[in-house]
Amino acid sequence: MRKDVRYPVAIGIGGADHVHPGRRGALGLCLFPGDGDADGPDTCFSYGGFAQFRRRLAHAEGFDLGEMIGFGGDRPWAEVSTEVEPFLNHPDDHSKDLSPLSPLSPQDCAAVLPKLEAILGQWTSERRDSGMERHIKNIQRLSVVLRVCIQKNVDLYFG
């Protein structure tokens, strides 16, 4: 993470307790541990980049994210069996009334991490283009963030 870049402030449940200080100014989304450490790890995306990343994860799990409820389709999440469901089936922006995004619990992070690492192993063994390289870097950064959430027993915030 470049320390000279300012990222958006996360609005979490409980207000200022869950704001990741110093991350302001860019449009997009950052995922970070709710430990209050402004210098801690995070992973940030443009909204479009985050959508592409999640579509690629869903594809790795054998389904099209665009078919799912909440992503333009009508397929219920109960029909999909994947450990990354808590991460994929999560809003990536605030609702119309600007209510805060709910975080993922440390337990959700612990459930998601092994599958992300398995997908990373698949992706690194495949022939790669520049888009895949970006997704590999994203999954590596996200894995670091998830590990911190698990180790510190804190939520993963989307902001």
| pLDDT recorded at residue 150 | 97
What is the average pLDDT across 125-153?
Answer: 92
Q: Binning pLDDT at 50, 70 and 90, where does residue 8 land? A: very low
pLDDT tens figures, 64-113? 999 999 899 999 999 999 999 988 988 765 444 444 568 899 999 999 99
pTM of the model: 0.78
Name the more confident of 150 and 38.
150
Q: Which residues, 6 or more positions from 68, have their beta carbon under 8 angstroms from its beta carbon?
A: 58, 75, 77, 80, 88, 89
| pLDDT recorded at residue 159 | 83
pLDDT tens figures, 16-65? 333 444 444 456 889 999 999 989 999 999 989 999 999 999 999 999 99
| pLDDT recorded at residue 18 | 38
Count CB-CB contacts under 10 A for residue 79: 10
- Chain centroid, CA 1 distance in Å: 15
| pLDDT recorded at residue 157 | 92
Asked if 147 and 27 touch (Cβ cutoff 8 Å), the reply is no
